Amino acid sequence: MTASHRPLKRFGQNFLESAWAEKLVRSIDPQADQTFVEIGPGRGAITLPLARSARHVVAFEIDRDLAADLRATLPGNVTIVEGDFLDLTAPELVDALRRCSAEGPIRVAGNLPYNVASPILFKLTELVGAGVPLADAAVMLQREVADRLLAAPGTRDYGVLTVLIGHVAAVDRLLQLPAGAFRPQPKVLSTVVRLRFQDPHPAVVDPRVFAGMTQAMFTRRRKTIANALLAYGSPAGIAPEQALAAAGIDPQRRPETLAIAEIAALSDAYANARRRAVL
Ligand code: SAM
């Protein structure tokens, strides 16, 4: 590693101490037939122990200097791709995996830059939705973000992130870490969660309607659901009361009390109305 490299705040660079990196990789339990996609390898704290156990690691690093250092030092079963993970498309990822002859389960790992953690989570679901066969993702997050992923309906943390990620992944907690596990130390506590990707559960008529309606209704999370849905407008001319009746949901409930299956039923009411309007 070049001695001149200083951790960059804009890239969320909080490097994991090696004892914690080893502990994290043990909890991920990499196997010899598995290929890993790593987001933000940094100085290679996780990359190296992953590469010792896994078949191959394809690591995406935005920091040009770190990417160059890693290329010079890491073993042959690691491919470093320099660039912004958020710009990655499904065909580009498939191509990168093909070039390293990836076989077997494809897994994701990363101590995420906290400033863009949610967009990275959505990028992962976008890649899976576009057909990239990612099995799971073990990601380090700011504890509050992990709490939102794991929240139950009716709690303060339950919201857009819980619903949109929980619809396509089963989420569980792997590890909790103190600020002292990183250099420099972040001002927040950290949690590693595992997302096991699944087919959307339950399936929805139109995923874009599901996402758009969910985002809109949580902008008014303390209102009644009938009122909150006004934030979504009335696509295809259907009023909130009609959509709620079609989904069998009491209009007096609050958005934050709706389970994912209920939100899916509600979005299907809108999506079906739109389809009928188009036909
Ligand atoms: N994995 C290393 C570790 O655990 O010590 C570094 C983790 S650090 C929290 C986040 C890493 O992600 C940094 O190396 C940073 O340069 C990189 N990074 C930040 N934004 C990125 C992006 N959009 N795409 C790819 N890498 C990114």
pTM of the model: 0.95
Ligand 1 atom 7: the closest Cα is on which residue?
Answer: 111
Domain regions of the chain by residue span: 9-197, 207-278
> How far is it, in rounded angstroms, from Cα 103 to Cα 77?
13
| Domain 207-278 grouped into CATH 3.40.225.10 | no
Which among 157, 156, 118, 160 is positioned nearest to 139, based on CA atoms? 118
Q: How far is it, in rounded angstroms, from Cα 37 to Cα 56? A: 9
Per-residue pLDDT tens digits for 100-152: 988 778 999 999 999 999 999 999 999 999 999 999 999 999 999 999 999 99
| Average confidence (pLDDT) over 50-60 | 97
Encode 66-81: b = buried (16+ Cβ within 10 Å), e = exposed. Answer: bbebbeeebeebbbbb
Rounded (5°) CA angle 133-137-139: 155
Mean pLDDT to the nearest integer, 9-22: 96
- pLDDT beyond 90 at 237: no
CA distances (Å), origin 80, targets 31, 34, 63, 140, 210: 20, 17, 11, 20, 35
d(CA 146, ligand 1 centre) in Å:
18
Confidence band, pLDDT 50/70/90 cuts, at residue 28: very high
Which residues line ligand 1 at a C-beta cut-off of 6 Å?
11-16, 39-43, 45-46, 60-63, 66, 84-86, 111, 113, 116
In percent, the amount of the chain with pLDDT more than 70 equals 99
Q: Where are the beta strands (DSSP E) in 27-166?
A: 35-39, 56-61, 78-82, 106-111, 134-142
Distance 13 CA to ligand 1 centre (A): 6
Which residues, listed in sequence order, are joined to residue 16 by a DSSP beta bridge?
182
* 9-197 placed in CATH 1.10.10.10: no
Greater model confidence, 222 or 236: 222
**42, two tokens:** 């940094």
Q: How far is the CA of 42 from the centre of ligand 1 (A)?
A: 5
Amino acid code (one letter) for 40? G
Smallest CA separation from ligand 1 atom 21, residue = 62
